[in-house]
Chains A and B, each alone.
Chain A
Amino acid sequence: MFDSIEEIEQKFAAHGYITDRHLATTVYLAASLGKPLYLEGEPGVGKTEVAKVLAKSLDTELIRLQCYEGLDTNLALYEWNYLRQMLEIRLQEARGVEKESIGTNIFDQEFLLKRPLLQAIQPHGPQPPVLLIDEIDRSDDEFEAFLLEALSDFQITIPEVGTIKAEQPPFVVLTSNRTREMHDALKRRCLYHWIDYPTLEKELNIILTKVPKIQETLSTQVCKFMELLRQEDFYKRPGIAETIDWANALLSLGIDELDQEVIETTLSCILKYKQDQEKLTDDNLQKALAITKNFKGGPVVSAQGSIN
């Protein structure tokens, strides 16, 4: 799949995802060892994005399974298309098919509705697809147990058809927001990676990639301000997604530099809970703003960037 860690860094960057060597190494190992990748982190740090970029880099299909409580095999694996099966029997009768052979074909694969896991095992293209199992923490214990089995063999048994085995196992990426603790057994089958909030330097790179039109002064200020904000004790700390939203918002408002009014009017881009917005008092805001404005470090003097 990939020949080197550097190749991953380059390919990811080419598709607009700035990664660090640590994550790239983990992805490389997951590809080489053929193990699923288990990504954890706060919301908005780019977990799902890894799978999307991975699919683009490998030039293959991305199959996404969004987890929720009550997700069962009918929705994750396969389901028979009952209506078509019934119609088929009717049609055969109308065509005058012999009684013995009526309905013998209704468990052919053409009546099978393929759900994400089966799709991943029987992909359309020649390349093994990337299977994204998103927000696994939202599923329940039963599904977790089922997944454990599915991920170890990559084969599915359908009683009417037989066992279907993947020719090439898909590249599996699981993501979790840690709303609940997952069972160790599942995690142990995967390569674990915690995606942290980015360093100032990395975030700046991300902003410059995602919002190319932005001025350097503004982007530096935005990133520094976000860094200060994340040190506060909020219910929901802003992630990279919020930084990008905010940068886009500021850009479309035609703003060159942060000031108190600008921050107050656009605060809803970064703090999404009322009580968090109230927590950011005028005092705190001014203090953070002063530090932000005095901060001169761009990508060049990044070494000082992460120190407050």
Chain B
Amino acid sequence: MQYTYSPGGDNEPFLPPRGEMPAGLQQQSLPFITHIIRFGRKLHYAGIDVNPANLIDLSRSLLYIDIANHKDFYAAALATLIINREDMELFTRLFREYWENREITAEDEQPGAKAKEKSRDDATQAREIRKQLQPAEDDAGEEETEPEQAGYSSHELLAKKDIDRMSELELEEARKIIAELIAILANRKSRRFSPAKSGAQLDFRKIFRRSMPYGEYCLRLAYKTHRLKKNKLILFCDVSGSMERYSQFLIQLICAMGAKISNIEVAVFSTHMTSITPYLNRNDVGDVVAQMSEQVHDWAGGTNIGGCLRELNEREAHQMLSSHTIAVILSDGWDQGDADLMRNEMEQLRRRVNKIIWLNPLLGNENYQPLCKGMQTALPFLDYFLPVHNLESLAEVTKLLRALWH
């Protein structure tokens, strides 16, 4: 610990020892305020940001409470310095360390130790599951991947073509389509109004203002209309063996568009979910993909859609999921995880986001039926279930969504 200095003895935890306390209010309170500042710095080093105004508030609050009362002082410090529930646990620990000079005992450590143990357990469990999955994958590979392969027929452009090998013209077209798709998905009507040249709603405030110079006559009507606002887009791409090429293609395209797109989050998943949004702004597409391959250790492994959705729901909910989020899932639905878990998580996601769109390359095949377990589980929760196996199908999707939404 950087600050092991304790301001008080055991009996009076918050006051400097009596003998050292000089007379006079200002001098008397000075050391205490120094402690408050030091405590603020301690919080800062531990990752809890505290600004001077908050420290001033805490100092001011000392005028109103009895600082010898442990609980009140704690409540005051908590109310003035903390603004997130997540910080409260850490804060309490630091508070005890600083103001009570308490070494961290076994009892305090226990929750943390337990958590570590738990994560270790999880890791072992995950390994075991993966082990169990491995033979299953091999076994099932014979039966399951066979018909799946049939879906990827030779005329399908996306599966065949790498972005490097596309002609400049094709690439330009692909970019255009994606840009349009994203524009359609990302725009929505706001509940707020802005002035318009014509429209369904009259803007009385403005009409009245305009007619002021002419008495009560209105010479010109004013209208208002809903503004356009941006949705948040989440692209949730399957990078397991069966889907890797499609996802890579789409992600490369999105990277190629780079800074033109804001408000988009991209995550890839197979056995675990990884957010790759931070890499999207790189100029060099090749580098990004290489980086992603490094980052996504389980790139092209088995698929656990339910588990990955759970990670999305739990970890990213505050940041990514809201009623203005459109979730786009790109996957063939070959799930090797727990179907119940997946159903649960799909249900959760359904409640949290505005729309769920599932893009499935296999849907391009005329004979394809969404019979596999994962797809069956997901279907009831989808708003749109659309094919995406080549550029034409992507263009079709774009056209369809535009017709539906605008």
> Which A residues fall within an 8 A CB radius of B?
5, 21-22, 25-26, 28-30, 32-33, 35, 38, 40, 69-70, 72, 74, 79-80, 82, 85-86, 89-90, 102-103, 140, 142, 178-181, 184, 187-188, 190-194, 235, 275
Residue of B nearest to A86 (CB): B216
Instruction: Contact check, A69 vs B191: say whether CB atoms are below 8 A apart.
Output: yes
Q: Which residues of B contact A89 (CB under 8 A)?
A: 215-216
Instruction: Contact check, A181 vs B318: say whether CB atoms are below 8 A apart.
Output: yes
Instruction: Contact check, A26 vs B79: say whether CB atoms are below 8 A apart.
Output: yes
The answer to the question of B71 belonging to the interface, with a C-beta cut-off of 8 Å to chain A, is yes
Expressed in whole angstroms, the minimum distance between the Cβ of A203 and any Cβ of chain B is 20
Q: CB within 8 Å of A: which of B49-63?
A: 51, 53-54, 57, 60-61, 63
Q: Give Cα distance in the complex from A131 to B234, angstroms.
A: 38
Instruction: Contact check, A184 vs B83: say whether CB atoms are below 8 A apart.
Output: yes
Q: Give Cα distance in the complex from A131 to B172, angstroms.
A: 56
Q: Give Cα distance in the complex from A181 to B76, angstroms.
A: 23
A25 and B65 contact, Cβ closer than 8 Å, known pairs A33-B57, A82-B205, A85-B208: yes
The 8 Å CB contact of B71, one of A22, A80, A86, A275, is: A22
Expressed in whole angstroms, the minimum distance between the Cβ of A157 and any Cβ of chain B is 17
The 8 Å CB contact of B65, one of A5, A85, A102, is: A5
Instruction: Contact check, A192 vs B82: say whether CB atoms are below 8 A apart.
Output: yes
Report, nearest first, the 10 A-B pairs whose CB atoms are least far apart: A70-B191, A25-B75, A187-B83, A191-B79, A32-B64, A26-B79, A22-B75, A194-B85, A192-B83, A29-B61
The answer to the question of B338 belonging to the interface, with a C-beta cut-off of 8 Å to chain A, is no
Q: Which residues of B contact A33 (CB under 8 A)?
A: 57, 60-61, 64
Q: Which residues of B contact A142 (CB under 8 A)?
A: 192
Q: Which residues of B contact A184 (CB under 8 A)?
A: 83
Q: Give Cα distance in the complex from A79 to B74, angstroms.
A: 44
The answer to the question of B88 belonging to the interface, with a C-beta cut-off of 8 Å to chain A, is yes
Q: Which residues of B contact A26 (CB under 8 A)?
A: 75-76, 78-79
Instruction: Contact check, B71 vs A191: say whether CB atoms are below 8 A apart.
Output: no
Q: Give Cα distance in the complex from A142 to B205, angstroms.
A: 20
The answer to the question of B72 belonging to the interface, with a C-beta cut-off of 8 Å to chain A, is yes
Instruction: Contact check, B79 vs A193: say whether CB atoms are below 8 A apart.
Output: yes
Q: Give Cα distance in the complex from A30 to B318, angstroms.
A: 28
Q: A21, A25, A26, A190: which has the most chain B beta carbons within 10 Å?
A: A25
Q: Which residues of A contact B191 (CB under 8 A)?
A: 69-70, 140
A80 and B88 contact, Cβ closer than 8 Å, known pairs A187-B83, A192-B83, A235-B348: no
A25 and B85 contact, Cβ closer than 8 Å, known pairs A33-B61, A70-B192: no
Q: Give Cα distance in the complex from A107 to B113, angstroms.
A: 67
Q: Which residues of A contact B72 (CB under 8 A)?
A: 5, 21, 25
Q: CB within 8 Å of A: which of B278-313?
A: none
A72 and B192 contact, Cβ closer than 8 Å, known pairs A80-B205, A82-B208, A181-B318: yes
The 8 Å CB contact of B216, one of A5, A90, A140, A235, is: A90
Instruction: Contact check, A188 vs B51: say whether CB atoms are below 8 A apart.
Output: yes
Give 24 A-B contacts (CB < 8 Å), ordered by A residue.
Answer: A21-B72, A25-B76, A25-B79, A26-B78, A28-B64, A29-B61, A29-B76, A29-B79, A33-B60, A33-B61, A40-B85, A70-B191, A70-B192, A72-B192, A80-B208, A82-B208, A90-B216, A102-B215, A103-B215, A140-B192, A178-B318, A180-B318, A192-B78, A235-B348
Q: Give Cα distance in the complex from A26 to B191, angstroms.
A: 36
Query: Which bracket fits the contact residues of B?
Result: 35 or more
Q: Which residues of A contact B63 (CB under 8 A)?
A: 32
The answer to the question of B322 belonging to the interface, with a C-beta cut-off of 8 Å to chain A, is yes
Expressed in whole angstroms, the minimum distance between the Cβ of B40 and any Cβ of chain A is 13
The answer to the question of B164 belonging to the interface, with a C-beta cut-off of 8 Å to chain A, is no
Q: Give Cα distance in the complex from A235 to B74, angstroms.
A: 32
Expressed in whole angstroms, the minimum distance between the Cβ of B74 and any Cβ of chain A is 8
Excluding A25-B72, A188-B83, 15 further A-B contacts by CB distance (< 8 Å) are: A21-B72, A21-B75, A22-B78, A25-B79, A26-B76, A28-B64, A29-B61, A29-B75, A32-B63, A89-B215, A89-B216, A140-B191, A188-B53, A191-B57, A194-B88
Residue of A nearest to B324 (CB): A69
Q: Give Cα distance in the complex from A207 to B337, angstroms.
A: 44
Q: Which residues of B contact A29 (CB under 8 A)?
A: 61, 64-65, 75-76, 79-80
Expressed in whole angstroms, the minimum distance between the Cβ of B307 and any Cβ of chain A is 15
Q: Give Cα distance in the complex from A70 to B224, angstroms.
A: 14
Q: Which residues of B contact A193 (CB under 8 A)?
A: 78-79
Expressed in whole angstroms, the minimum distance between the Cβ of B330 and any Cβ of chain A is 26
The 8 Å CB contact of B79, one of A72, A140, A192, is: A192
Residue of A nearest to B82 (CB): A192
The 8 Å CB contact of B204, one of A5, A32, A82, A181, is: A82
Q: Which residues of A contact B347 (CB under 8 A)?
A: 275
Q: Which residues of B contact A28 (CB under 8 A)?
A: 64-65
Q: Give Cα distance in the complex from A92 to B319, angstroms.
A: 57
Q: CB within 8 Å of A: which of B347-406?
A: 347-348, 351
Expressed in whole angstroms, the minimum distance between the Cβ of A141 and any Cβ of chain B is 10
The answer to the question of B198 belonging to the interface, with a C-beta cut-off of 8 Å to chain A, is no
The answer to the question of B4 belonging to the interface, with a C-beta cut-off of 8 Å to chain A, is no
Q: Which residues of B contact A85 (CB under 8 A)?
A: 208
Instruction: Contact check, A191 vs B80: say whether CB atoms are below 8 A apart.
Output: yes
Q: Which residues of B contact A35 (CB under 8 A)?
A: 57
Expressed in whole angstroms, the minimum distance between the Cβ of A94 and any Cβ of chain B is 12
The answer to the question of B124 belonging to the interface, with a C-beta cut-off of 8 Å to chain A, is no
Q: Give Cα distance in the complex from A38 to B85, angstroms.
A: 12
Residue of B nearest to A74 (CB): B205
Instruction: Contact check, B61 vs A32: say whether CB atoms are below 8 A apart.
Output: yes
Q: Which residues of B contact A72 (CB under 8 A)?
A: 192
Q: Which residues of A contact B82 (CB under 8 A)?
A: 192
The answer to the question of B190 belonging to the interface, with a C-beta cut-off of 8 Å to chain A, is yes
The 8 Å CB contact of A188, one of B54, B61, B204, B319, is: B54
Q: Give Cα distance in the complex from A264 to B109, angstroms.
A: 40
Expressed in whole angstroms, the minimum distance between the Cβ of A48 and any Cβ of chain B is 18
Expressed in whole angstroms, the minimum distance between the Cβ of B45 and any Cβ of chain A is 19
Instruction: Contact check, B322 vs A25: say whether CB atoms are below 8 A apart.
Output: no
Q: A26, A33, A38: which has the most chain B beta carbons within 10 Å?
A: A33
Residue of B nearest to A83 (CB): B204
Q: Which residues of B contact A38 (CB under 8 A)?
A: 83
Q: Give Cα distance in the complex from A33 to B61, angstroms.
A: 7
Q: CB within 8 Å of A: which of B201-242?
A: 204-205, 208, 212, 215-216
Q: Give Cα distance in the complex from A212 to B297, angstroms.
A: 60
Expressed in whole angstroms, the minimum distance between the Cβ of B230 and any Cβ of chain A is 12
